[in-house]
Amino acid sequence: MPQNLVIVESPAKAKTIEKFLGKDYKVLASFGHVRALPSKQGSVDIEQDFTPKYHILPESKKHIDAIKAALKDAKNLLLATDPDREGEAISWHLLAALGLDKKNPGKSIQRVVFHEITKDAIIHAVENPRDIATDLVDAQQARSVLDYLVGFNLSPFLWKKIRYGLSAGRVQSVALRLVCEREKEIQAFKEQEYWTIAARLGVKPGAEFRASLVEVGGKKLGKFDIPDENVATALNRALKSGSYRVAKITRTERKRNPSPPFTTSTLQQEASRKLGFSAKKTMSTAQKLYEGIDIGQEGTVGLITYMRTDSVTLSSQALTEAHEVISAAYGAEYALAKPRIFKTKTKNAQEAHEAVRPTSIARTPAELKKHLTPDLFKLYELIWKRTVASQMAEALLDQTSVDIAAELNEAVADCTVAESGAASPFTGAKRCGLRAAGTVIRFPGFMKLYIEGLDDQDEEKEGLLPPLQEGDDLKLHELFPEQHFTQPPPRYTEATLVKTLEEYGIGRPSTYASIMNTLVERKYTRLDKKRFFPEDVGMVVNDLLVAHFSRYVDYNFTAGLEEELDQVSRGEKQWKPLLKEFWEPFITLLKQKEGEVKKDDLTTTELDEVCPECGKPLAIKLGKRGKFIACTGFKEGCTYTRNLESDASEPSEPVLSDEKCDKCGQQMLIKDGRYGKYLACSGYPACKNIQPLVKPRGTGVVCPECKEGELTEKKSRFGKLFYSCNRYPQCKFALWDPPVEQPCPKCGFPLLVKKVYKRKGEFLKCPKEGCDYTSE
């Protein structure tokens, strides 16, 4: 019988590790957490110094029993849970669940830690065990208790004051505040008009370039100095009369360094930008790469290091491998003489292990492609490229700036600014300045392999300039006056929300995926075209928390609490005094607000409008489906309601449709539902037939699964378009992307789908699992 019992968190990891350790080791999985605070009041005994009352999770009992049975024959217990605070706490909870939280003279109990699942790393960890780090356990306990104290006291308050089923969270509510405040900025935003003028110039035909107007009459142009079409037209007319020459050419060399290897947060951000992965999908895919993939002759092996980390450092072994791969694949000029070292910039960084990197950089994505699913391949390739690029030579760019002088034969005409009526300051000007810029990549360096994505703009592009000399006369080919309007700040994407939370030092990167998921599941927000839109209930909850619990949704306060948890993890602060410091002012404020805050103040706003049916005032109310207008006389029996967007003159009685019920023949009514307007039979409740108001639009593409139905355009419950067989529920084939009736040239699947990405443009892709064909 094996003398050594090793406990890890996942069964996939257990199989891989058991293969590395040999027959004298048995490896079992705890299947994640084994103990937790019960989801009920009283799970933390506040009177007894915040003592947590943990219980074994029902689904974990069978796993604990299996571990207990295996432990009877083993002499040594090795706790090999994940190498972070949560993993440390799971090891501590395991001992308690096994009844080994006190010294057991018959067993040797040790903690082993590794950051990658490779044979060398596992053997090194087993040969160098340690004790459980109680400071890390205390930090995790403090986090769990804090989250419990906030959630199980503030959530019932929301139930009483808004509606049942809502929740508040220490970090979740701060993330919601970010989304709601951005929405308020957008609503308050007032667009401002401005114009720009560009010119297409050239020394000779075929060598034209574009330059922008930057100066008029010796005055440098600001963003709003050409405020409207009147001024733009006057400038445009004068510029047509001008003669142009190259006044000055400035050439500068720029160096550009690569981004550091991935942390948890930057991996989530970049996978969102480049791959379109949600944070949740990124973490689950990375987990599979970490735990192990069967890659043929080597068997199952972990392909990346642990994916929950704040570190940007690489091991000496990884640096050596990267140097060898770069030299072999790109040449010595792309490799560094000595490794590039990055410093962690993350606020409240913890668990400074290695960055997320391939366990062996020699395993190129191309070699592993046949062993990986498309998603696993995409994420591995992203991690591999980012890691290798971080150790490649800097890029050398030649940047050229050309200043162009324009002598105007016709002075800028007198004109007025439309809005103010003031005369344009450019009236009478006879000289203008334009500028063109171009960048030439002299040596691509790391850019040959990888460039970091941007959040809300295209990659910066500066065109190439033709050969020019100072004093060259230029011919004007065309002018381009363009109208613009300022844009509100963009709504958050998953990538930008993660980035902002990390910049503030709020929460931990490993929890961001679940936080964003909760915001959507609770219907506080919705994701539309990958951007967060707050729902009515989310705005009301946020307004309540900001108005009455501002300290607890304050960005700096929440970040400061993270720093205090870090101090606990470093042994610089005790966890129970920290809880007491938080709890006493929090519960005092909560009790005070119980009496002060009234439900109607939050969920009802009276209008200066009377009910057309009973004459009582109307009010905006918050319902399960958002805000709507209702009569305040509902208690007296008035049932008048209408949509918030509806006009008061609209009839309140049901609207008859031209269509008849296909089941009973009676007239169909147009009704408003949770997801928009729909048709319902007027014979209800005898006939309960309902249909979409707009019938599903056919695509003309035959369903590839049943070969009988047609793929039709439909909307999901969250408003997202998808394409499914019109024979549903007999045939359940569906696609998220528009189908194109064209067989895949690689695998022969009957159709392709159309994809559109901001940077790649439009292309076709095979939707069949396992086929990687694209028309790019």
Confirm whether 314 is domain-assigned.
yes
Average pLDDT over residues 352-367: 90
Q: pLDDT band at residue 663, thresholds of 50, 70 and 90?
A: confident
Same domain membership, residue 114 and residue 27:
yes
**Residue 56, domain CATH:** 3.40.50.140
Segment 662-673 shows an average pLDDT of: 80
Provide the pLDDT for residue 651: 47
> 235-281: per-residue pLDDT in tens?
999 999 999 999 999 999 999 999 999 999 999 999 998 998 989 89
Q: Same structural domain for residues 380 and 273?
A: yes
pLDDT value at 770 more than 60: yes
- pLDDT for 524 equals 94
Answer whether residue 760 shows pLDDT above 90.
no
Residue pair 114/122 in contact by the 8 Å Cβ criterion: yes
Question: Are 571 and 618 in a shared domain?
Answer: no
Tell me: pLDDT of 298 over 60.
Answer: yes
Three-state DSSP state, 25: strand
Asked if residue 199 and residue 184 are part of one domain, the reply reads no
Q: Judge whether residue 351 has pLDDT over 50.
A: no
**0.95 surpassed by pTM:** no
- Of 648, 642, 611, nearest to 627 by C-alpha is 642
Contact predicate 278/272, CB 8 Å:
yes
Residue 319 sits in the same domain as residue 362 = yes
Query: pLDDT value at position 648?
Result: 52
Q: Which amino acid is at 457?
A: Q
Q: Residue 493, Cα to own-chain centre: how many angstroms?
A: 5
Q: Within this chain, do residues 200 and 96 fall inside the same structural domain, yes or no?
A: no
- Report the pLDDT value the prediction gives residue 463, as an integer from 0 to 100: 65
Q: 756 lies in a domain?
A: yes
Catalytic one among 25, 148, 194, 306? 306
Residue 460: pLDDT band by 50, 70, 90 thresholds?
Answer: very low
The 10s digit of each residue's pLDDT in 684-709 is 888 888 877 666 677 888 898 888 88
Residue 1 confidence (pLDDT): 66
CATH number at residue 414: 2.70.20.10
Check residue 430 and give its pLDDT: 94
Query: Is it the case that residue 72 has pLDDT exceeding 50?
Result: yes
- Answer yes or no: are the C-beta atoms of 360 and 118 closer than 8 Å: yes
CB-based burial of residue 624 (10 Å sphere; 0-12 exposed, 13-18 middle, 19+ buried)? Answer: exposed
| pLDDT score recorded for residue 419 | 77
Residue position matching structure tokens 């918050």: 622
Please say if the pLDDT value at position 135 is more than 60.
yes
Residue type, 162: I
Are 272 and 315 part of one and the same domain?
yes
Are 253 and 290 within one domain?
Answer: no
Q: If you average pLDDT over every residue of the chain, what do you get?
A: 88
| 370 Cβ neighbours under 8 A, 6+ residues apart | none
Q: Tell me the per-residue pLDDT of 721-740, one tens digit each, with 9 for 90 and over.
A: 789 888 887 888 999 888 98
Q: What is the mean pLDDT of residues 707-719?
A: 77
> Does residue 459 surpass a pLDDT of 50?
no
Tell me the mean pLDDT in the region 28-39: 91
The answer on 377 and 268 residing in a single domain is: yes
Of 361, 393, 425, which marks where a domain is finished? 393
What's 558's domain CATH number? 1.10.460.10
| Gyration radius of the chain over CA positions | 32
Does a structural domain hold residue 771? no
In which band, very low, low, confident or very high, does the pLDDT at 293 lie, cut at 50, 70 and 90? Answer: very high
pLDDT score for 346? 53
Of 635, 670, 692, the domain-final residue: 692
> What integer is the mean pLDDT of 8-18?
87
Are 474 and 453 in a shared domain? yes
pLDDT at 645: 66
Shared domain for 586 and 702, answered yes or no, is no
Q: DSSP per residue over 259-286, as a string?
A: PPPB-HHHHHHHIIIII---HHHHHHHH
Last residue of a domain, one of 359, 393, 427: 393
Residue 334 known to be catalytic: no
* Burial of residue 203, with CB atoms counted within 10 A of its CB: 0-12 exposed, 13-18 middle, 19 or more buried: middle
**459 found inside a domain:** yes
Instruction: Measure Cα distances from 515 to 450, 696, 749 in Å.
Output: 30, 35, 38
- Give the number of domains in the chain: 6
Pick 318 or 651 by higher pLDDT: 318
Poorest-pLDDT segment among 357-361, 456-460, 464-468, 501-505: 456-460
Q: Which residue segment(s) compose the domain that 386 sits in?
A: 264-393
How many angstroms separate the CA atoms of 309 and 290, rounded? 13
At 655, is the pLDDT very low, low, confident or very high (cuts 50, 70, 90)? confident
What is the per-residue pLDDT for 717? Answer: 57
Convert the pLDDT of each residue in 376-392 to its tens digit: 999 999 999 999 999 99
Residue 477 lies in a domain: yes
CA 761 to CA 776: how far, in whole Å? 9
pLDDT tens, position by position, 465-496:
888 999 999 999 999 999 999 999 999 999 99
The predicted structure's pLDDT at residue 350: 47
Residues 201, 92 share a domain: no
Confidence class for position 356, pLDDT limits 50, 70, 90: very high
